[in-house]
Structure 1
Amino acid sequence: MAKVVGTIVSTQKDNALIGKKLMIVQPVDINKENIRYEEVAIDTVGAGIGEYVLIARGAGARIADSGENTNKKSVSDCSIVGIIDRFDS
């Protein structure tokens, strides 16, 4: 779980990132306290700054970024895969 804290604009990037929305996310715990450090994530769901989101890392992030096209190259190690409407602790 993370909070979207910013966006990234990059004009020079790997071809696999062309057309992808890059966001800065801050992982948080169940109390919405920051944990670890900020990360760059590919947004697959249209999240906005200030929203709490579900993130996937590693192979899960690459699968989310590639969609149904399993032959498509992905350089993602972190993807936003859901927008959290609410959560209870």
Structure 2
Amino acid sequence: MYLGRVIGTVVSTSKNQDLIGMKLLIVERLDEHLQRIGETEIAVDSVGAGNGEIVIICGGSAARYVFGGNVPVDKSIVGIVDTVETM
């Protein structure tokens, strides 16, 4: 899992049937200081995240389990972050 910031949405009228009704968000990966690192990605939202929010992203096979394991998903948003503290 890692931190990300929602920077936009994706609308796709033609997609896999298992993705119908799911919200697709564009996220940028963040480091522990909330600075952007890496590339942007598209993640399926499971928590109602909105533009500009800091979120927790789950990737790989674990991302599919959020939706029952049968959905073709590689990145899932699994939490909205309230605060981040580093030592």
TM-score range, shorter chain: over 0.9
Answer whether contact 1:42 1:65 (CA < 8 A) is retained. no
Unaligned residue ranges in structure 1 (runs of 5+): none
In angstroms, what is the RMSD of aligned CA positions? Answer: 0.9
Higher strand proportion (structure 1 or 2): 2
Q: Which runs of 5+ in 2 are unaligned?
A: none
The corresponding residue for 2:73 is 76
Partners of 1:64 and 1:77 lie apart in 2 by 11
The CA distance in 1 between the partners of 2:36 and 2:66, in whole Å, is 24
Deviation at 1:61, TM superposition (A): 0.4
TM-score (norm 1): 0.90
Q: How does 1:39-50 map to 2 (within 5 A)?
A: 39-50=41-52
Query: Equivalent residue for 2:7?
Result: 5
Identity %: 44
- CA distance in 1: counterparts of 2:73 and 2:27, whole angstroms: 14
Structure-1 residue corresponding to 2:34: 32
| TM-score (ref. length: structure 2) | 0.92
Which residue of the partner structure matches residue 51 of structure 1?
53
Q: 3-state DSSP class of the match of 2:76?
A: strand
Structure 1 residue runs of 4 or more that deviate by more than 2 Å after TM superposition: none
Secondary structure at 1:60 match in 2: helix
Partner of 1:65: 67
